[in-house]
Amino acid sequence: MQTFTSTVSTPWLLQHLGDHNLQILDASWHVPDNSPSGRLEAEKEHIPGALYVDIDEVAASRSEPPYRMMPSPALFAERVGYLGIRPEAQLIVYDNAGLYSAARVWWMFRSMGHAKIAVLDGGLPAWKAAGGVVEQGPFKPRASVAWPSLRCADTVRSWSEVLENLTTQAAQLVDVRSAGMFNGDTSDRYPGVRPGHIPTAINLSQRLLRDEHHLFKSPDEMKRIFSEHGIDLKQPIIATCGSGVTACILALAIELVGEGACSVYDGSWEEWGGRPDLPAVVDKG
């Protein structure tokens, strides 16, 4: 099997589906509301043989928001091992939105030192468009697996580190939410959370980095978009979003570009905007 980097194409996966040391992860998820859960939606159609990964379960145990924070290395190993994910496997992760929560799973594994993971570019929509078959029904359980000791890399930023960065300006803070979310109201998704954004943040919607088919644009196109938004890829970047999920898309894009260093503010606006003691900017134009 060839060595891949951060993404694989649907033709590649069509060719390699069924390879012994390949495991497919379905990470379909959405912000919890009154609609069916990500698992239930994924059970309607998923790539054959996939294992389901719920980012609400592979997360730190918390009783208040933000809920899906990075778990400790020991808890991460326990949770992914319970799912039957093998530490020696090459992992391909996707979601049914094209690209959303799959990037979060990619980022967590990479942060924990598992380099053999890639995102299916375009996700389930691209898979179906390329003629890939899907199956329905509950995901087949796998026997649990023991993982070796893990150590989390320096890719996670806390609210206190982001607050300190407002003074030091050691890193560029990039908010990947839509302009409306960045400037206006977020209460429809995060009850009790203020509208607005973190001071000094640059707004670059992660959707601008992908085309209408959810596929990443070329590295040169993405570099141009970064430049047009005043983002210097030679300087450190902290990605932030609504709840620490789509910020991971920026981390993935920067790796695809091949320049820059990107960490993720794990709590993102769900944490920051929920704390009245932290500064916020509201600009509805």
CA separation (Å) from 10 to 17, 125, 220, 277, 278?
10, 10, 22, 46, 43
- Residues linked to residue 94 through DSSP beta bridges, in sequence order: 26
pLDDT (mean) for 200-204: 97
- What letter does residue 53 receive in the DSSP assignment? -
Question: What are 112-164's pLDDT values in tens digits?
Answer: 999 999 999 999 999 999 999 999 999 998 999 999 989 999 999 999 999 99
pLDDT over 50 (residue 188): yes
What structural domains does the chain harbor? 7-129 (3.40.250.10), 156-272 (3.40.250.10)
Distance, CA of 259 to CA of 233 (rounded, Å): 6
Q: What value, to the nearest 5°, has the Cα angle with vertex 122 and ends 116 and 125? A: 125
Among residues 152, 241, 248, 262, which one is catalytic? 241
The SS3 assignment for 13 reads helix
Q: How many CB atoms lie within 10 A of CB 96?
A: 24
Tokens representing residue 120 in the block:
């299916």
Could you tell me which residues come within 8 angstroms of residue 243 by beta carbon, excluding any fewer than 6 positions away? 31, 66, 68, 190, 268, 269, 270
Cβ–Cβ under 8 Å, residues 110 and 99? no
Residue pointed to by tokens 């300006």? 169
For residue 241, indicate whether it is catalytic.
Answer: yes
Using a cut of 0.75, tell me whether the model's pTM lies above it: yes
The beta strands (E) that lie in 124-276 are given as 156-157, 172-175, 202-203, 237-240, 262-265
Percent over 90 (pLDDT), the chain: 81
Q: pLDDT tens-digit profile of 222-270?
A: 999 999 999 999 999 999 999 999 999 999 999 999 987 899 999 999 9
